[in-house]
């Protein structure tokens, strides 16, 4: 009875996860009961997400807590709450995207499954973000993966959707198997799967070579989730083949959960202490994560940017762009400092807004012209000036040019590198940003500097679409000029995390 009481006392730490679980069950039940009229289901999911967002904000101000009564499976802290908030806000926007998406409307009779799967992904991502145990990491990652496999192939009448889902499943199964092999090695060496306990064994002088091998295997599973090279092969095919709503969701929410998991894995399993300057001191004998992440980040952003140069499908181009941005985000992890962590948090705020905005414009244009090919964007800047200008704002921000928020995000990443005296890596990142300018500007060249194929084409934007595009476009400019609030949010998140 005493153990049961202590377990119940710990459940308040899981209020967001419990709330989303209740929403999932409610969506399924209402889908079964209401056989014909299912138009209310997205609003049920949206209401649940908003309630969960309030619970996550409350959790943001908690003192860092490892759930002692849940066998130290989870960590609740400000950084985790921040990434959960990114996930839940992205989920709210994706629900709205789904309401205006032609691809999702075609599967109207399966809306219950659609929103239930999104809720399932949110639950999995929440546990990924908070996991402090290798088994918990694996289970939560699998929960996210299984839901996303189905969502990637949700529109059954599209062959490319089925292909995307199958490729996603094959690569996901392979990376999960590799990760599980690494976990089994760690367990065999230490007799535990808890990251804190593993770190203690490592500090006491474990087999460093075997730990190194197992750590790389585990990173393979995490690298797959964040689309880091060489674990990125699924990304372009899945992003192109999946419905645009799910592509946008994977590019933001799934990546946010993956990076939160990576930060948790490093800080709990390998960081011995944080010195006065904010530098992370790794456990003696552990893998040199700084060198490892340097290689991975250079490979990821270079491959992503150069592969994007040759793409003719805008979703596929944005997929390679997403890979490149994973490389930029890894720059903040490379330095292994508090400032680097602040830069990652800041960049994610900016990246979420501008990438969701770009995918929203792509979806609205695809709804009207039925194509995602860049060649079909000729003259669209004149057919729909509002969407054309907003697309220009999002793409310029993704490049990292002032006065957009993307410039501020990259500026803080490069500053963290320079302060860590990793100037050659900063130079490589800047060169990659220059390369990315070509394929982003290519889209704008087609929209504004090429004669339209249909001179009479006019694309009208509804008031609701106009508002939601502005909601995403305005902050990109606003935070590029007045960025103090997001900088303070990033610094406060790290300060609360250190407590």
Rounded to whole angstroms, the Cα distance separating 256 from 82 reads 10
Q: Give how many domains the chain has, as a whole number.
A: 1
Structure tokens, 486: 């997001």
Res. 348 pLDDT band, cuts 50 70 90: very high
pLDDT tens-digit readout, 36-68: 677 788 889 999 999 999 999 888 877 655 554
Point out which residues pair with 66 in neighbouring strands: 75
Q: Are 178 and 217 in contact (CB under 8 A)?
A: yes
Rounded to whole angstroms, the Cα distance separating 147 from 150 reads 6
Q: What is the pLDDT of residue 209?
A: 82
Rounded to whole angstroms, the Cα distance separating 236 from 319 reads 5
Tell me whether residue 396 is in a domain. Answer: yes
Residues 6+ apart with CB under 8 A from 306: 435
Q: What is the pLDDT of residue 166?
A: 84
Angle separating helix axes 385-399 and 338-369, nearest 10 degrees: 150
Q: Parallel, antiparallel, or unpaired for β 280-282 and 75-76? A: unpaired
Q: What is the pLDDT of residue 426?
A: 92
Rounded to whole angstroms, the Cα distance separating 229 from 220 reads 10
Tell me whether residue 312 is in a domain. Answer: yes
Q: What is the pTM assigned to this prediction?
A: 0.93
Average pLDDT over residues 185-196: 88
Q: Are 228 and 300 in contact (CB under 8 A)?
A: yes
List C-alpha distances in Å: 368 to 155, 241, 327, 384, 409.
Answer: 18, 19, 33, 11, 33
Neighbours of 277 (CB within 10 A): 9
Does the pLDDT at position 159 exceed 70?
no
Helices (H), 35-158: 41-60, 78-100, 102-105, 111-130, 134-152
pLDDT higher for 351 or 105?
351
Point out which residues pair with 273 in neighbouring strands: 281
Least reliable range by pLDDT among 86-90, 269-273, 296-300, 361-365: 269-273
Quote helix, strand, coil % in the chain, to nearest 5: 80, 5, 20
Rounded to whole angstroms, the Cα distance separating 64 from 132 reads 13
Rounded to whole angstroms, the Cα distance separating 361 from 350 reads 17
Tell me the average pLDDT of the chain.
Answer: 87
Q: What is the pLDDT of residue 497?
A: 74
Res. 285 pLDDT band, cuts 50 70 90: low
List C-alpha distances in Å: 433 to 317, 348, 366, 407, 410.
Answer: 15, 17, 27, 10, 9
**First-to-last C-alpha distance (Å) of the chain:** 32
Rounded to whole angstroms, the Cα distance separating 311 from 424 reads 29
pLDDT tens-digit readout, 371-396: 888 888 888 888 888 899 999 999 99
113, 201, 96: which is closest to 156 by C-alpha? 113
Q: What is the pLDDT of residue 93?
A: 93
Average pLDDT over residues 237-255: 90
Res. 109 pLDDT band, cuts 50 70 90: low
Q: Annotate 275-294 with three-state secondary structure.
A: CCCCEEEECCCCCCHHHHHH
DSSP 274: E
Does the pLDDT at position 327 exceed 90?
yes
- Considering 251-260, 272-281, 372-381, the range whose residues carry the highest mean pLDDT is 251-260
Rounded to whole angstroms, the Cα distance separating 195 from 268 reads 6
Neighbours of 473 (CB within 10 A): 24
Least reliable range by pLDDT among 55-69, 155-169, 462-476: 55-69
Q: What is the pLDDT of residue 6?
A: 56
Does the pLDDT at position 9 exceed 70?
no
Tell me whether residue 285 is in a domain. Answer: no
Average pLDDT over residues 62-84: 73
Average pLDDT over residues 420-430: 91
Q: Are 65 and 72 in contact (CB under 8 A)?
A: no
Does the pLDDT at position 69 exceed 50?
no
Q: Token pair 């001191």 is at which residue? A: 281
Neighbours of 369 (CB within 10 A): 17
Q: Are 76 and 65 in contact (CB under 8 A)?
A: yes
Tell me whether residue 37 is in a domain. Answer: no
Average pLDDT over residues 67-89: 80
Tell me whether residue 34 is in a domain. Answer: no
CA 5 to chain centre: 36
Question: Torsions phi, psi of 218, nearest 5?
Answer: -65, -40
Does the pLDDT at position 303 exceed 70?
yes
Q: What is the pLDDT of residue 108?
A: 57
Helix (H) or strand (E) run with residue 263 in it:
helix 255-269
Q: Are 168 and 174 in contact (CB under 8 A)?
A: no
Least reliable range by pLDDT among 18-27, 150-159, 244-253, 386-395: 150-159
The total number of residues shown for the chain amounts to: 499
Helix (H) or strand (E) run with residue 76 in it:
strand 75-76
Q: What is the span of the domain harbouring residue 428?
A: 291-499
Tell me whether residue 222 is in a domain. Answer: no
184, 185, 254: which is closest to 223 by C-alpha? 254
Q: What is the pLDDT of residue 63?
A: 64
Tell me whether residue 268 is in a domain. Answer: no
Tell me whether residue 496 is in a domain. Answer: yes
Point out which residues pair with 373 in neighbouring strands: 313
Least reliable range by pLDDT among 21-30, 302-311, 442-451: 442-451
């Amino acid at each position: 009875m005493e153990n049961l009481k202590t377990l119940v006392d710990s459940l308040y730490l899981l209020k967001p996860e419990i709330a989303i679980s209740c929403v999932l069950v409610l969506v399924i039940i209402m889908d079964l009961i209401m056989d014909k009229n299912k138009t209310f289901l997205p609003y049920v999911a949206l209401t649940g997400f908003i309630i969960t967002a309030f619970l996550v904000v409350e959790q943001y101000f908690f003192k860092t807590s490892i759930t002692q009564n849940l066998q130290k499976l989870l960590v609740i802290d400000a950084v985790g709450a921040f990434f959960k908030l990114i996930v839940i806000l992205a989920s709210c926007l994706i629900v709205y995207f789904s309401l205006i998406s032609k691809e999702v409307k075609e599967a109207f009779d399966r809306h219950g499954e659609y929103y239930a799967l999104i809720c399932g992904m949110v639950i999995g991502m929440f546990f990924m973000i908070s996991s402090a145990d290798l088994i918990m990491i694996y289970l939560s990652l699998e929960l996210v993966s299984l839901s996303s496999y189905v969502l990637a192939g949700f529109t059954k009448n599209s062959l490319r959707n089925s292909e995307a889902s199958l490729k996603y499943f094959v690569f996901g199964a392979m990376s999960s198997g590799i990760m599980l092999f690494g976990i089994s090695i760690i367990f065999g060496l230490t007799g535990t799967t808890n990251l804190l306990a593993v770190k203690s064994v490592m500090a006491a002088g474990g087999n460093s070579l075997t730990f190194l091998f197992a750590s790389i295997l585990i990173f393979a599973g995490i690298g797959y989730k964040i689309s880091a090279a060489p674990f990125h092969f699924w990304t372009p095919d899945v992003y192109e083949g999946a419905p645009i709503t799910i592509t946008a969701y994977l590019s933001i929410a799934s990546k946010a959960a993956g990076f939160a998991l990576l930060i948790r894995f490093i800080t709990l399993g390998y960081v011995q202490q944080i010195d006065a300057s904010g530098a992370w001191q790794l456990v003696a004998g552990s893998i040199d994560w700084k060198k490892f992440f340097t290689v991975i980040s250079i490979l990821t952003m270079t491959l992503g940017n150069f592969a994007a140069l040759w793409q003719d499908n805008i979703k596929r181009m944005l997929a390679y762009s997403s890979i490149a941005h994973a490389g930029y985000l890894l720059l903040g992890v490379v330095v292994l400092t508090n400032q680097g962590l602040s830069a990652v948090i800041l960049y994610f705020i900016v990246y979420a807004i501008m990438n969701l905005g770009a995918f929203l414009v792509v979806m609205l244009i695809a709804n009207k012209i039925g194509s995602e090919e860049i060649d079909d964007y000729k003259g669209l800047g004149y057919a729909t000036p509002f969407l054309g200008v907003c697309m220009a704002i999002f793409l310029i921000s993704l490049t990292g040019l002032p006065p957009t928020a993307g410039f501020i995000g990259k500026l803080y990443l490069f500053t963290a590198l320079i302060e860590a005296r990793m100037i050659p890596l900063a130079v490589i990142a800047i060169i990659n940003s220059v390369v990315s300018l070509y394929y982003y500007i290519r889209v704008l060249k087609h929209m504004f500097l090429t004669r339209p194929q249909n001179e009479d084409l006019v694309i009208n934007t509804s008031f609701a679409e106009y508002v939601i595009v502005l909601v995403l476009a305005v902050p990109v400019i606003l935070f590029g000029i007045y960025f103090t609030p997001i900088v303070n949010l990033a610094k406060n998140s790290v300060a609360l995390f250190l407590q």
